[in-house]
Every structure is written in C-alpha cells, then in structure tokens.
Chain A
Amino acid sequence: MALADILPRTRRLLPAGLPVSVALSLFWLAAMLICAALADLLRPYPITRMDLAARLAPPLTPHHWLGTDELGRDVLSRLIQSVRVSLVIAFGATILSAVFGTTLGFLAAKARGWVEHAVVMLADFQAALPFLIMALAVLAFFGSSMPLLVGLMGFYGWERYARIARGLAISAGAQGYAAAVVQLGASPARVYLRHILPNVASTLIVSMTLTFPEIVLMESGLSFLGLGVQPPETSLGNMVGFGRDYLTTAPWIMLAPAVVITLTTLSISLAGDWLRDRLDPTIR
C-alpha cells in the first residue's frame, strides 16, 4: 500500500482534530512513561551486570538487542533505567519550579510593595545568569547528589511562572469574581487557591509543557558534562557522555540515548504546542 493511501486511513482512526504528528508524539510519550514506570520489569539485565565475553557488541546481537558498552553492560537495560531516572528528575523539578514560581508570583501580587520588588529582582537575577552556568557553579562546589540535582533543577524556569502568575493574579484580582469572594470574607489563601488558581491554571500548564523538555535537556547536558547524575546510576545525558569516548568504535552506545532524548523532547514540544493552541486563551 502506498504511503498516500495509508495516511488518510490512519487519520480516520484518530480522534477528529488530532494531527498525526501529535498522535505519534503522544504515543511515544506514553511509551516512555510506561518505560519509566515499569523499568524494573522491562529491563532484561541489571544495569551494572557486565558480560565481559561480549564487550562492545554491536546492536542486534542476540540477548543484547541494542549492543553492549565497553564493560559489556547491556545498552537496552541501561537505556530503560536512564529513561526512568531522567523523567523522574524532570517531573520532580517541573513540579517544584511551578509550585515555587507560582507561590512567589501570587505572593508578589497579594503583598505588592517591597515584597513585589524583591520577587521581581530575584527574577531579574535568575534571567541574567544562564541557568547552566549557575548550576555548574553550584554542582561543582557542592558535589552532585540526587536530592541536590532535583532541588537545583527545581529552580529552572521558576521566574517565568512567577511573572505569569503575578501578572494574571493582578488582573484577576481586578475582576468581579475575586472581589466578590473577598467581600464574602474568604481568606487570602482561599481566594488565591480556590478561585484565582483555577482561572489561571491553563496558562501555567502550558508553561509547564515548555519547561519540561528544557529541564530534560538541562539535566542531560549537566550529566553529559559529568556534573549531573553520577555513576553507577545512569541517565540519558550521562550515557551520551560516556559513550562519547567510543564514538568511532561503538557509536551505538551514544546514539541510542541520543535518539531517545531527541524524540522525547521533540514529542513534548509538538504535543505541548497542540495543547497550547487548545488551552491558552491569550493566543487565540
């Protein structure tokens, strides 16, 4: 069957209005989530198990479908574990940064005055110092550990949430519904969490879909430089970093995680764009 025949057919199988690229992205992301959730079941070997008889085995070797690395460790097993580690870090960090940024943004909108100035100044500071540089300084001097890495990545992009949340909360505060619940005697926490937050949530969610792939890239960049996830634990960037030494003799060690990183961030971007078109009222 020609490609031109297949495309309309598959399109008919999809829900109306869902582009093929978005459907493929969602499919890939679902696969990655399953991979991360069931990593322990899916992994053919433990990630540190060495098969010294089959070092640097190329892909499609029986028992090692994606080949092995310089110590004879199974690339597929390490890849599955890496997906889990990288996604867990990225999820944790995205949520931390959204909560932290939104809280500061609401605080600035509620308190105004010097609190607002302080938040705006912190956001300026964050925007002036590229995150990678800041993270390099912190990680190199404190040493890398999992909690520090997640905590640090949790600062990624908080200033965007803070700006958005502050702007939206100020304009929401001027609207009738917020003034009405304030008049009814609701506490500030209730006004912000129960009434204003749901009204601005869609914009914040869109912002999260933008931050998430950037955090994946940032973590893999740091791990690639040897300052993120530390061995024996493995992450996607860390695999690329170590695979780099075998670029000429065993490129699959580096290519397998590289393909996964690229497809994942690409999928999140495509799905995120689609989501933004549907959710974000400001760009309609």
Chain B
Amino acid sequence: MLRFVALRLARALATVIAVMTFAFVVLRLSGDPAQVMLGPDVPQEAVEAFRRSWGLDAPLWQQYLAYLGAIFRGDFGVSMRDHSPALALVLERVPATLQLTIPALILKLGLGIPAGVYAALHRDSLIDRGVILLAVAGFTIPSFVLGLVLVLIFAVTLGVLPSGGSGTWVHGILPTLTISIGGIGVLARFSRSAMIEVMGQPYIRTAAAKGVKWRNVVRGHALPNAAVPIVTLVGFMVGSLIAGAVVVETIFSWPGIGRLLIVSVSNRDLAVVQCILLLIAAVMVVSNLVVDLLYGALDPRLRAQPTT
C-alpha cells in the first residue's frame, strides 16, 4: 500500500512539473513580453531595462531553472500589469468561482446520480427514456448557448433574473444552472450505465435468489459496486471546480478565475496566466490522487494488487 501511494505521488509530481514546463515553454517562446507590455514606440534602452528587471535577458535554460526554483519556494512572481503578487491576485478570485461551481456540483450529484440510478432500475420505462433524452440533450448543448438562451428567457423576456454581474445570490442563479445542466446529464447517463452493468452481474441474481429483499439488494449489493466508476467521474468534476467556469463566467461577467484568465491572456500577463494554469493543474492532480486512493477503500480487489 505504501509503495502504491509513493508511486502515485511521484506520478502526480511529474504531472505538475510537466504542466509548469508547458506553461513556461508556451508563454516564453511565443514572443517578447517586453515588446507587448511596453508597446512598439519605446526606446531600445527602456526595453533592455525592462528585460533585465524581469530576468528576460538570461539564457532560456537559466530562466527555466530560476522559474522552477521560484515556484518551489512559493514565489509565483508579480503581475506585469500592476506589480502585485500573482498568487494573491489569483487566490482572491477563487471564492467567486467556488460560489458558482460548488452549488453546481451539489446540483449535479443530487440530481444526476439519483436520476441515473432510478432510470437503470426502471429500464426501458417511459421515465428511463425521458431521463436518457434529457441527459443527452443536457450535455450536448454547449454551455455558451445554454447560458445565452437562459438569459434570453429569464432576463430578457421574463425579466425576473439579472443577465449578468455579481453581488447578490440572485446573480448566481443563471450561471450555476448553466454550469450544472451539462454535468447532471453526464452523471445521469453514466450512473445509469454503471448501474445497469452491475444489475446484470451474477452476484445480484444470487442475492435476489437467496431471498434478500429487493431494496436491500439495490442498497447493499448494487449501489456500492456501481459507486466505483461513478467516483472516478465525480473526482474529475471536483478537479474542474476551478477550471469549469471559464466560458460561463465570461457570459455572465462573473469576477472569478475564468474571467481573470481571459483578461490576463489578452494582456499577456505571464505571471498570472502561469499561476492560474498551475492552480488548475494542481487541483486536478490532487483530486485524481484522492480518487485513486479512494479506490483502495471502495474496492477491496484493488487493495490486493496495489501496483496496477
């Protein structure tokens, strides 16, 4: 078990370093930040001074090592725009994003899984077909279309909800709905097929045949087994709590990480973009790690063969 955890940790660390390298390569090789920040009409001396002060005049590999070293010391650099620490800028936007994505996650779990399980237990019924249709429709509508259609209905036509902005919980309703609908569809469909697969297993037939009450077969035998694949998907959803709202925040002018990313990307604010990329990847990697460790707890078979 210890070996398994150590292996997973090493892989997680390697992934984070890969993301750091990616951020460095893309952001440094795509052009000269000095030119972009200062504009075309600046004297050469000013450009040189700017590059010296940001360490952009050193060879690339030195810049790379300095960059990795700084990150491991917890120094994410300062925003090139307003010279405040990038990490602080990014972290202060996190609560706003979580205000949308956590309620959305609760909606996804609370509606998606029960709908999928119910549909699986009443396979081919009218409700089952309805669930499938709604689920497929839910995750095939792009979030920007869904968001704009919701604005058209509830803000423009009915005038009952604000079309954008933030401040009160009412502002959060449409963005939260927009984020959650796709996820509800995905989870409903996934839970349904996981549950159907489990219900076809011999041990369910055995349990039913030896006279266990149907309710207990579902609760005690089917649900725990169907939970294993569902947990993977939920782990992925938890991992995208930070990253999952880029488009929706843009539509609804919500001051979260996604808006900050889009703004920083168009300003070419290297430090802030790097910091957001790393934060997103770190959250994803940690939640994947937790899922892997949870597997051991959920599925005794995986404990027996820890290295796979």
Contact = CB atoms under 8 A, between A and B. Distances in A.
A binds B: yes
Interface of A: 121-122, 124-125, 127-130, 132-134, 136-138, 140-142, 213, 217, 220-221, 224-225, 237, 240-241, 244, 247-248, 251, 254-255, 258, 261-262, 265-266, 269-270, 273
Contacts of A244: 148, 251
Contacts of B145: 240, 258, 261-262
B5 interface: no
A133 B262 contact: no
Contact of B30 (A133, A134, A141, A251): A141
Interface of B: 11, 14-16, 18-19, 22-23, 26-27, 30-31, 136-137, 139-145, 148-149, 151-152, 156, 240, 243-244, 246-247, 250-251, 261-262, 265-266, 268, 273, 276-277, 280-281, 284-285, 288
Contact of B261 (A133, A247, A265, A269): A133
Given A129-B277, A141-B26, A224-B247, A124 B14 contact: yes
Q: Chain A: interface secondary structure?
A: helix
B281 A128 contact: yes
A141 B277 CA distance: 14
Contacts of B240: 130
| Residue with the greatest number of chain A CB neighbours at <10 A, chosen from B30, B145, B273, B288 | B145
B144 A251 contact: no
A261 B149 CA distance: 13
A258 B31 contact: no
Contacts of B281: 128-129
B141 A262 contact: yes
Given A136-B262, A240-B145, A266-B140, 20 more contacts: A127-B284, A129-B277, A129-B284, A130-B240, A133-B276, A138-B26, A140-B265, A142-B30, A220-B144, A237-B144, A244-B251, A251-B152, A258-B142, A258-B145, A258-B148, A261-B142, A265-B142, A269-B136, A269-B140, A270-B136
Nearest to A136: B265
**Ordered nearest first, which 6 A-B pairs have the shortest CB separation?**
A141-B30, A140-B265, A125-B18, A258-B145, A265-B140, A266-B140
